Amino acid sequence: MKSFDAIVIGGGQAGPFLAARMVEKGMKVALIERKFLGGTCVNAGCMPTKTLVASARAAHVARSGAVYGVNIPGEIAIDMKVVRARAEAVTMNARNGLIGWFAGMDGMTVIYGHARFEDPKTVSVNGETLTAPRIFLNVGARPVIPDLPGINDIDYLTSTSIIHLDTLPRHLAVIGGSYIGLEFAQMYRRFGAEVSVIEHGPKLASREDEDISDAIADVLRSEGIDIHTGVSDIAFARSSDGITVATDSARIDASHVLIATGRKPNTDDLGLDAAGVITDKHGYITVDDKLATNVERIWALGDCNGHGAFTHTSYNDFEIAAANLLDGDDRKLSSRIPAYALYIDPPLGRVGMTEKQARASGRKIMISTRPMSRVGRANERGETKGFMKVIADAETKKILGAAILGIEGDEVIHGIIDAMNAGTTYPALQWSVPIHPTVSELIPTLLGDLKPV
């Protein structure tokens, strides 16, 4: 049996950085990863997909050149092998950077293999047994594959496998109208594929307010994406030239099918029962406000604890754990203000409560909206789709939430994120003097138009 001061299971966006901090403190740490360092973000999520999004946007801008007085003769051709190679290079640069970083650390032992608990202080991997007084779980999540008629008879894609595709689908059917599915839908439409989105719920991006969801659908439809919502029945069958996707309202002749119906935590094969670690009904590891599980000296970070499922929330889990365990701080999960983005084009930046959540909270609220067509930068760039929305507490004057669907919305939202984290009231932010011409310059005007509802 090999002994360590800490064992980290999973090489995503929380575990490796926590391991590095512990090594800095003179601890002996084992980092166990069953596949690739970097987790979903580096290998199958943010980095490769946003690289693909960038290629798709380049194609879109090239096709739109005539609007800006830039005439490109002939058709815009997409070389999917180059597109894929570029995304793979970004991933490999990041992954190899982590490998090199850890190789130079005294006190760090990186082990590739599948770890399982033997008891609360012991794990086995590759036939060896390791023990440590502290164990951290950062095992991530994977795509959910629903039990739909005929699904096992077809060769479907997931968000993990589609990034390796080096040919252009004739017609991509996307099953699931949430964030992952919508990004790939627009991306492949811009590459030149026919695209259909099939969503069980009544609207796309179901966690958003209805006006945001409608605007997202308008953006995608304007680019020729076929959207089916409220679909109750889906079945698949092989056809002579691809896959038939049959729903209760349509029959789609697809060449490829992407299953984008959510993700589930990688907790079902860790031997958690042997350690006594509790999970909820969805398999997420239950943690307290400081990310500790029900078993003393076992913590769960990142996607597997069900508190975020984003790279930035996973990294923040590392910050919370490191601050509390290594720096004598008292940081809490409940202090985190939720924020995220949807990387369609234009992107959606979101923070805090939706209007629906704010109304349900019983507060007296104020709301303001402004179309992106009122933004000078948007008009100059010829990208005026979308709108801004902010919700505030009428009594405390604190901002409760905001959504910016529009050009650079994923960046502009940070002004509001920072204000909310600092506890700044909206009247104080209203009197800031932003730079012209930017998208952010409309925020004071947006706040000035807040009205009670």
Instruction: Give the residue numbers annotated as catalytic, written as ranges.
Output: 436
Q: Which two tokens stand for residue 393?
A: 């507490």
The answer to whether the beta carbons of residues 449 and 391 sit under 8 Å apart is no
Helices (H), 64-201: 80-103, 179-191
Strands 451-452 and 365-371, by their bridges, are: antiparallel
Distance CA 133, CA 361 (A): 42
CB 157 within 8 A of CB 244: no
* Alpha carbon distances (Å) from 327 to 234, 302, 313, 324: 52, 20, 20, 6
* Rounded-to-integer distance, Cα 308 and Cα 311, Å: 8
Distance from C-alpha of 65 to C-alpha of 70, rounded to nearest angstrom? 5
In 3-state terms, what secondary structure has residue 222?
helix
Q: Exposure of 167 by Cβ count < 10 A (0-12 exposed, 13-18 middle, 19+ buried)? A: exposed
- Give the span between the Cα atoms of 253 and 247, in whole angstroms: 12
What is the distance between the alpha carbons of residues 20 and 29, in angstroms, rounded to a whole number? 8
Cα–Cα distances (Å) from 27 to 15, 234, 440, in that order, read: 15, 53, 45
Among candidate residues 61, 79, 386, the one with its CA nearest the CA of residue 220 = 386
Instruction: Specify whether the CB–CB gap between 102 and 29 falls below 8 A.
Output: no
Q: Positive or negative CA dihedral for 152, 157, 158, 160?
A: positive
Task: Could you list the beta-strand ranges (E) of 309-358.
Answer: 339-342, 348-352
CA distances from 150 to 144, 146, 236 (A): 16, 11, 5
